[in-house]
Amino acid sequence: MFRMDILSEDGFARLCKLHIKQENLKINTPAYILPISDFLSKFPSYLNLANKNNVIYSISHYAQHLPTNLDHHLTLCNENTTYYNGVTEEPEAYIPNISSSPSRVCFFFSKQCPSIFFSDEFAIEWYKTFFEEIFSEIQQNPEKFRQLGGFGLIVNLQHIINYELLEPVLREYLDHPIIKEHLLAIEFQGLFDNKLDYSSSINFFFHLKSLLPADVLYIASGNIKPYEYGFIISLGFDAIDLTYLIYSGFSGLYFHHEEEMEWVRKLNSEDDFACVCEFCKILQDNISSSESNIISSEYYALIALHNVSMGLVELDRIRNNIKNGSISTYVEKKSNYSLFLLSALRYLRKTYKNQLTRVQSLNKSTNLPCTSSLSYSNPNVEKFRRSVMANVEPNSETRICIFLPCSMVKPYSKSKSHRKFHKIIRSASRKWNKYISEVIITSPLSLVPRELEEVFPAAHYDISVTGDWDAEELTITADGIVSWIEKLPIDVKLIGFLHGGYKQAFELALLKLKDEKQLYYDYSIVQDNDSFKKLIEESIQSLELNHKKNKVDSSLSREELTIKMLADFQLGVGAGKILIGTTARFLQSRNELYKTIVGFESYGKLQLARYDRSSGHIRLNYHGGEKLKNHSNISVVLNTSDITGTTIFKPAIAKVGENLCSGDEIVILGPQNEYLGIGSLIVNSNTVARMRRGAVVKIRKMKKEV
């Protein structure tokens, strides 16, 4: 029977691998599920589509014949007991006789009963009976059940109106030990059919998913359009059933690329088929010919095949976006095709904002276009803002804090305007540059300390600049400025080279400090280079008078302050100070995209970490991990010290630090909290708690045996 390994996660979305070891079968998710029937097998083009990678088959009987070229794929068998108006016809056992069945077939427990659509109350009783029958048969036939090697479960929701009534019943039965131990896959039929009530669908799925093991294949089926796939996969689903696209095609509905379905009778010219797939080419040739010789069934089969090919292409795009770390941006783009989808995305990011932020990885270097107000709540953006507020502290020696506008070029220091700012600040501050901090005001990130300008997404986002800032934009930015100013000494001098929305956000922040915090700061705002230089020089003169005898030998150097901020931002408060130790610095490698963080202790020079400038991510070396071994935020504790290979699996895990994400750096500790090595997390830390098996940590360096 198949097993599922989680390869990586980005937010709730994830990439997994389904595999059957004895048959050397591997399928990557997001996967597509295609039904196989005698009727569909008549169309060679459909079989060619079905023979693509990452396809899972759906059949109605385990003894069903599969075409020769399809008999090596994973197959889901929905062989159910059928009820009509409460009367069983030809009752069959839930557990089939599978003595001759191949290991690639996964059997689903399901029961179709049209009568449950009469009322939600009847559906509740029906589901109670359904689960009781399953558990009873498992107890009566333990040997047959063992031969299954695991099972799937179908939850039919196509005509359920009130999920809140059904949820407690399902929660009770899904929490059963048999489900916890043996469930391989669960299909939610019709969960997203009601486009007017996406909020209930989202809540229902998340509430039930929290009970189930993490290494379960989550399948969505029903009335789902291709442009909705990205949103559904971003919730945590692993596969989409494309049966609806086939059904709609044979019903005469043609899926326009990036648009809704259109009745094929309204498509009367070649231009109406705005697609370059092989099936549309045949349709175009048919329309352009004077006499059509294609019979009706073949004509509608081409429509169905076109629809399926669009679904396959869309899932391939989604898979690539998850790999690139850009799934949240892709979903924002797709939400423009449906008001219901737009509402669902807004609801998700508002209601589950904290959960999304906790599992959002920032270890990436992909572009992040911010094209609408949806970007204000993008999980990557929200995670960055929160990490700056919670983890990053300005230099305690700061006496002058300069606020600058962002630039189109990233990182900011490479832009023409910021090179000019740097030249002015350096020439005006002279030896007192140590006391000056620079922060960049920007939307939607709010505020970026100069030391973090290469960190994702500060160096990767882009936004349309009009000069007009809306109220939400101003409020978000002002809140970030307030948080930063509150960390500064009360006698700090604030200087802003600001205009337009930047100035508005800065002044709004000062107003909040005055009205809410009763804090007053000395600040000045300028808008030209001469005034900017003069203001810095005057502030330096005042600083010289007040700190004439002040020495800075005991404080961090500018380079060390950057290392400290980077480490605190990524690894948690206090990590930077521990990593630096006595002193540390950057060493440029041959590749300009990388720097080595080197520490200098009494016993010599140590390589502590590697800094990737393309993502702003620190990768710990063995000695860097050893320094941080007591920094519990990033530790993984094992229940054994006997570890071989390059991967640590779930059975060896005793404890994982909270709120860690896929790709985060971790230190590996033994049963007695002894330091063993360093690595990176494969899955989010909250996923680990729900895993039954699978890889958790990718080892980079382990302690050598003495």
Give residue 368's pLDDT: 93
The answer on 184 and 165 residing in a single domain is yes
The answer on 507 and 373 residing in a single domain is yes
CA proximity to 5, closest of 665, 663, 649: 649
CA proximity to 30, closest of 308, 188, 230: 230
Residue type, position 37, single letter: S
Give residue 219's pLDDT: 97
Domain count along the chain: 4
Measured between alpha carbons, how far is 372 from 136 in angstroms, rounded to an integer?
Answer: 53
Is 460 within the bounds of a domain? yes
Residue type, position 153, single letter: L
Q: How many alpha carbons fall within 13 Å on the CB side of residue 611?
A: 25
Q: Which of 505, 521, 546 is the last residue of a domain?
A: 546
Measured between alpha carbons, how far is 150 from 139 in angstroms, rounded to an integer?
Answer: 15
Is 315 within the bounds of a domain? yes
Range of the domain at 320: 31-349
Q: Are 451 and 385 in contact (CB under 8 A)?
A: no
Radius of gyration of the chain (CA): 30
Q: How many alpha carbons fall within 13 Å on the CB side of residue 45?
A: 16
Measured between alpha carbons, how far is 453 from 126 in angstroms, rounded to an integer?
Answer: 58
Measured between alpha carbons, how far is 366 from 359 in angstroms, rounded to an integer?
Answer: 18
Q: Which residues contact 380 (CB under 8 A, 6 or more apart)?
A: 328, 360, 362, 368, 456, 457
> Where does residue 43 rank: exposed (0-12), middle (13-18), buried (19+ CB within 10 A)?
middle
Give residue 553's pLDDT: 47
Q: Consecutive sets of 10 residues in the chain, 706 residues long: mean pLDDT of each?
A: 91 93 85 90 86 86 76 78 44 61 80 63 84 88 84 86 86 90 93 88 93 95 93 96 93 79 72 76 70 63 90 93 94 89 94 94 92 92 96 91 95 95 89 88 95 95 84 95 93 93 95 86 92 92 69 70 95 93 89 92 86 94 94 89 90 93 95 94 94 94 73
The answer on 418 and 332 residing in a single domain is no
The answer on 218 and 95 residing in a single domain is yes
Tokens 């079989």 sit on residue: 47
The answer on 647 and 569 residing in a single domain is no
Is 75 within the bounds of a domain? yes
Measured between alpha carbons, how far is 223 from 340 in angstroms, rounded to an integer?
Answer: 14
Give residue 162's pLDDT: 83
Task: Please report, for the domain that includes residue 388, its CATH number.
Answer: 3.40.50.10630
The answer on 385 and 416 residing in a single domain is yes
Is 18 within the bounds of a domain? no
Task: Please report, for the domain that includes residue 679, its CATH number.
Answer: 2.30.130.10
> Where does residue 607 rank: exposed (0-12), middle (13-18), buried (19+ CB within 10 A)?
middle
Q: Which residues contact 381 (CB under 8 A, 6 or more apart)?
A: 368, 370, 375, 444, 445, 457, 461
Q: Which of 527, 546, 565 is the last residue of a domain?
A: 546
Query: Angle at the Cα of 397 (from 395 to 402), degrees rounded to 5?
Result: 65
Measured between alpha carbons, how far is 598 from 547 in angstroms, rounded to an integer?
Answer: 32
Q: Are 618 and 570 in contact (CB under 8 A)?
A: yes
Helix (H) or strand (E) holding 285: helix 278-288
Q: Are 351 and 200 in contact (CB under 8 A)?
A: no
Is 4 within the bounds of a domain? no
Give residue 380's pLDDT: 96
Is 321 within the bounds of a domain? yes
Strands 695-702 and 665-669: unpaired
Both tokens of residue 586?
Answer: 């950057």
Q: Are 459 and 564 in contact (CB under 8 A)?
A: no
- What pTM was computed for the model? 0.91
Query: Angle at the Cα of 79 (from 34 to 168), degrees rounded to 5?
Result: 95
Measured between alpha carbons, how far is 502 from 417 in angstroms, rounded to an integer?
Answer: 15
Q: Are 589 and 596 in contact (CB under 8 A)?
A: yes
Among the residues of 289-439, which ranges form H helices? 296-324, 327-334, 339-351, 353-358, 379-391, 416-429
Give residue 87's pLDDT: 45
Classify 152 as helix, strand or coil: strand
The answer on 473 and 419 residing in a single domain is yes
Q: Which residues contact 642 (CB under 8 A, 6 or more apart)?
A: none
Both tokens of residue 595?
Answer: 């720097």
Q: For the residues of 163-175, what is the DSSP string, one character each?
A: HHHHHHHHHHHHT
Q: Are 22 and 32 in contact (CB under 8 A)?
A: no
Residue type, position 680, single letter: S
Both tokens of residue 688?
Answer: 């680990």
CB atoms within 10 A of CB 687: 24
Both tokens of residue 591?
Answer: 């590749």
The answer on 399 and 309 residing in a single domain is no
The answer on 373 and 333 residing in a single domain is no
Both tokens of residue 651?
Answer: 């059975």
Measured between alpha carbons, how far is 593 from 704 in angstroms, rounded to an integer?
Answer: 30
The answer on 561 and 536 residing in a single domain is no
Maximal CA-CA distance, the chain: 97
Both tokens of residue 90?
Answer: 């030809």
What does each C-alpha distance from 579 to 408, 552, 624 come to in angstroms? 33, 21, 6
Residue type, position 480, single letter: G
Is 21 within the bounds of a domain? no
The answer on 450 and 323 residing in a single domain is no
- The reply to whether omega before 457 is within 30° of 0 (cis) is yes
Is 45 within the bounds of a domain? yes
What does each C-alpha distance from 25 to 144, 310, 694 come to in angstroms? 24, 25, 17
Give residue 490's pLDDT: 87
The answer on 679 and 597 residing in a single domain is no
